Homo-oligomer: A and B are copies of this chain.
Amino acid sequence: MPDTRGVIVVAARRRFATHGYDATSLRSIASDAGVDAALLIHYFGSKEALFISAVGLPTPLPDLFADVARLPRRRAAEALVRRYLEIADSEHSRNTMLALVRSAVSSEQAAGLLRRFLTEALLGAIAQRGGEEDQALRASLIAAQLVGIAMLRHVLRLPPLAEAGPDEVVALAAPAIERYLS
């Protein structure tokens, strides 16, 4: 086994993404990774620390929205939606995102991570655009739209949204988000 620690982290991220923090046991992660449950504690010290290592590691997530600030309004809105959908196609990023969303409802730790990511990455990027006074609230509503799509598409699997292709979603959601970009 070359990289046991890495195998554990990947298995953990997948479990946390599909079952959330509470419903994921160290035993189930260990089973997926093909190692003993005691090893996880040996490597990471606690379940919480393993969670942080699994979802807090450097991912392409933070800089996904980086150049939103530079694009014209229409292009920026399209980019936001399309980039989110690209995340959903990358196993690593999707699992990170879903693990955060699924775990945030029951773990204050996870809620803090997701809150910080949304605040820094998205609100930060959008704040660099026009400087209206309600810009932070507008950015929050954009974040709400994207988080809601993640919830309905991947967690709830609501048929119309779960089965729609990326282009359909972009075509409909981008104009709505455009209205938030002052």
- A144 interface residue per 8 A CB criterion: yes
* Interchain CB contact under 8 A, A151 and B160: no
- A164 interface residue per 8 A CB criterion: yes
Number of copies: 2
* Interchain CB contact under 8 A, A151 and B151: yes
Which DSSP category, helix, strand, loop or mixed, fits chain A's interface?
A: helix
Expressed in whole angstroms, the minimum distance between the Cβ of A120 and any Cβ of chain B is: 12
- Say which one of A27-35, A36-44, A59-67, A99-107 lies at the interface with B: A99-107
User: In this complex, which of A123, A158, A177 has the most chain B Cβ atoms within 10 angstroms of its Cβ?
Assistant: A158
- Contact string, A89-103, partner B, CB cutoff 8 A, digits 1/0? 000000000000110
Q: Which residues of A contact B (CB under 8 A)?
A: 19-20, 22-23, 101-102, 104-106, 111, 114-115, 118-119, 123, 134, 136-141, 143-149, 151-153, 155-161, 164, 168-169, 172-173, 175-177, 179-180
